[in-house]
Amino acid sequence: MPLPSDFQFSQSSLQNYVSCPRRFELLYILKINYPAPVSEPVLEYEQHIERGRIFHQMVHQHLIGLPPDTLSSMELDPILSEWWQNYLKAAPTTQMPLKRCAEFSLSTTLSGWRVTARYDLLAVEPRNKAIIVDWKTSITRPKADVLKTRIQTRLYPLILVEAGKTLNEGYPFAPEQIELQYWYPAFPNHPQHFRYGPEQYTKDRGYIQNLIAEIANTPENGFPLTSNTKLCQFCMYRSLCKRGSTAGDWTEMQSSYEAEDFSVPEFQLDFEQLQEIEF
């Protein structure tokens, strides 16, 4: 089955492909909703994800001007509260350019397909520099050389170069004007910085283009299962692929960074359509 013509790639879908092509096929092409647990204990994992969501939301609220005191008065669990206080104390955005775009999406076309990136924060000084900030709410902090190979690290600066001119007075950003920063509320003093440059840009562009072309040209049933069977512990399709029955421990999943972005887009109910109900 070919990709639908309106298919959009993202860092998450590309990372899923790199981790397991079959998973990409099941999730994005065949759109199979397979509701097995992703990891155990389910509630703890869910709480962790929820904590991350709320942290992102609070930073967004802070960046659009809601008073920090008001945000601090919200009831938070101890871990989230510590993250939030770490954020306020470290004030990671203070030294950044003043033009801020939080939860901002950019998209471009590569190898004939639309590719999109959603940035937690873009701090821009037009015609001079742009800092991409991604809030990382994992409980571990991976090493720089692991992060460097992640699709997100390679794709986000690339898309900013390709699609960011509306943020830069109509001029494309030069790769050397871009920096990517991963900021960890659990490790506030140890953010990871990646400077971008023309050489990396050329390399990344070629890599992503090839990856997309490879996916687009893969025939039906041509998506192989991952050889890293450890990942299957954290995949809801494990029974469909005959790769086990029980989910792995989520803390292990966190320590293996490779698995963290083996992420599952939630199959949300379409609440708005529910208004159509027959009364």
Partner 1 sequence: MAHLTAQQAAISTAPLNSHIFLEGPAGSGKTTTGVARLQHLLESGVPANTILVLVPQRTLAFPYLEAIRQPDLPPGGEVDIITIGGLAQRIITLFWPIIALPAGFRHPQKPPIFLTLETAQYYMASLIRPLLEQGYFESVKIHRNRLISQIIDNLNKASAVGIPYDQIGQRLKSAWIGDPAQKTIYDQAQECAIAFRRHCLENNLLDFSLKLEVFTKHLWKSFLVRKYLTQRYRHLIYDNIEEDVPIAHDTVREWLPEFETALLIYDSGGGFRSFLGADPLSAASLRESCDESVLFSGSHVMPPALSEFRISLTNTIQSKKALSLSSEALSSFTIEHHRFYPEMEHWVCSIVADLVRTQNVSPDEIVILSPFLSDSLRFSLMNRLNEYEIPSWSHRPSRSLRDEPATSCMITLAKLAHPQWKMPLSRFDLRCALMQSIAGLDLIRADLLAKITYKETKPEEGLSSFDRIQPAMQERITYWAGERFEQLRSWLAAYQRDAEIEPDIFFSKLFGEILSQPGFGFYNNLDAATVAAKLIESAKNFRRSIPKNRPPCGNIYIPMIEEGILAAQYLISWESAPRQAVFIAPAYTYLMSNRPVSYQFWLDIGNLGWWQRINQPLTQPYVLSRRWNENTVWTDAHEFQANQESLSRLVSGLLQRCKKHVFLCTAAINEQGSEERSPLLHAIQRVLRHTYALREAEDGV
**Cβ-proximal residues to 54 (8 Å cutoff; 6+ apart), any chain:** 76, 80
Number of residues in contact with partner 1, rule: CB under 8 A? 62
Give Dmax over CA atoms of the chain in angstroms: 61
Q: What is the closest distance, in whole angstroms, from the C-beta atom of residue 144 to partner 1 in the complex?
A: 29
Q: What is the closest distance, in whole angstroms, from the C-beta atom of residue 202 to partner 1 in the complex?
A: 18
Cβ closer to partner 1: 32 or 146?
32
Q: Is-cis flag, bond preceding 41, omega within 30? A: yes
DSSP conformational letter for 25: I
Q: What is the closest distance, in whole angstroms, from the C-beta atom of residue 66 to partner 1 in the complex?
A: 6
Phi/psi of residue 256, each to 5°? -95, 100
Positions in 3-22 near partner 1 (CB under 8 A): 5-8
**26, amino acid identity:** L
Q: Does 109 bind partner 1 (CB under 8 A)?
A: yes
Cβ closer to partner 1: 141 or 165?
165
Positions in 36-75 near partner 1 (CB under 8 A): 36-37, 42-43, 54, 57, 60-61, 64-67, 70-71, 73-75
Q: Does 227 bind partner 1 (CB under 8 A)?
A: no
Tell the residue number behind the tokens 């989230």, with chain if given.
Answer: 80
Distance CA 204, CA 13 (A): 16
Looking at the chain, list the stretches that DSSP marks H as alpha helix, in order from N- to C-terminal side.
11-19, 21-24, 42-63, 68-72, 78-90, 144-148, 151-163, 198-216, 250-255, 257-260
Structure tokens, 205: 């562009």
Q: What is the closest distance, in whole angstroms, from the C-beta atom of residue 147 to partner 1 in the complex?
A: 25
Q: Does 31 bind partner 1 (CB under 8 A)?
A: yes
Tell the residue number behind the tokens 């699709």, with chain if given.
Answer: 151
Length, in residues, of the chain: 279
> x/- binding map, residues 175-214, to partner 1, per CB under 8 A?
----------------------------------------
Closest CA to 247 of 57, 259, 258, 257: 259
Binding site for partner 1 (CB under 8 A): 5-8, 31-37, 42-43, 54, 57, 60-61, 64-67, 70-71, 73-75, 104-109, 112-114, 116, 162-163, 165-166, 170, 236, 238-240, 242, 245-247, 267-279
